[in-house]
Amino acid sequence: MTTYRLRVNGANHAVDADPDTPLLYVLRNDLGLNGAKFGCGLGQCGACTVTLAGESVMSCLVPVSAVGARPVATVEGLGSVVRPGVLQQAFIDEQAAQCGYCIAGMVMRADRLLARHPAPTDAQIRKHMQANLCRCGTHMRILRAVRRAAAALRMPANGGKA
């Protein structure tokens, strides 16, 4: 066991883990952040998507030893049940979640898209989101949610923060 110092959602944490422990397990089991889900364990479904130093990553594939000082963000860092972030609210408004299993990963991937492209085209949204799978088939609602969030984020009152 090694002690790792992680910065997750703006807060510092010290966790004891084996170097090969997936970041996903540390987030869920040690930090109690259950937004990212275990889907396939192979980095093929996207249910475990978080951001690492501003890049979307499949946290089931990233060993905790590879995180270093790079900041990690999870869906919990975007808002709360009481006060959802703009992107989370757009997913709620568009009823983009059916079973809900993929949604945290979808939201995190969409967050990175909107950070880079504040007014993405449908083609850009589809291409960016294709790494995350939704078995329930709410793809059109997800597309609408990303468009809604993009429009809301461009409004001055929101200050461009998802």
* Domains within the chain, CATH numbers bracketed: 2-77 (3.10.20.30), 86-155 (1.10.150.120)
Within its chain, how far is the Cα of 63 from the centroid?
17
Q: If pLDDT is split at 50, 70 and 90, which confidence band does 98 have?
A: confident
pLDDT score at 158: 57
Q: What is the mean pLDDT of residues 146-152?
A: 96
Give the long-range contacts of residues 36-40, CB within 8 A, separation 24 or more.
Answer: 36/74, 36/75, 36/104, 36/105, 36/108, 37/101, 37/102, 37/104, 37/105, 39/101, 39/102, 39/105, 39/133
pLDDT score at 160: 55
pLDDT score at 99: 83
Phi, psi for residue 58 in degrees, rounded to 5: -85, 105
Phi, psi for residue 22 in degrees, rounded to 5: -60, 140
Q: 35-57: per-residue pLDDT in tens?
A: 999 999 999 999 999 999 999 99
| Average pLDDT, rounded, for the chain | 93
pLDDT score at 120: 97
Q: 63-85: per-residue pLDDT in tens?
A: 999 999 999 999 999 999 999 99
pLDDT of 159 > 70? The answer is no
Higher confidence at residue 129 or residue 158?
Answer: 129
pLDDT of 155 > 90? The answer is no
Q: What is the mean pLDDT of residues 109-129?
A: 96
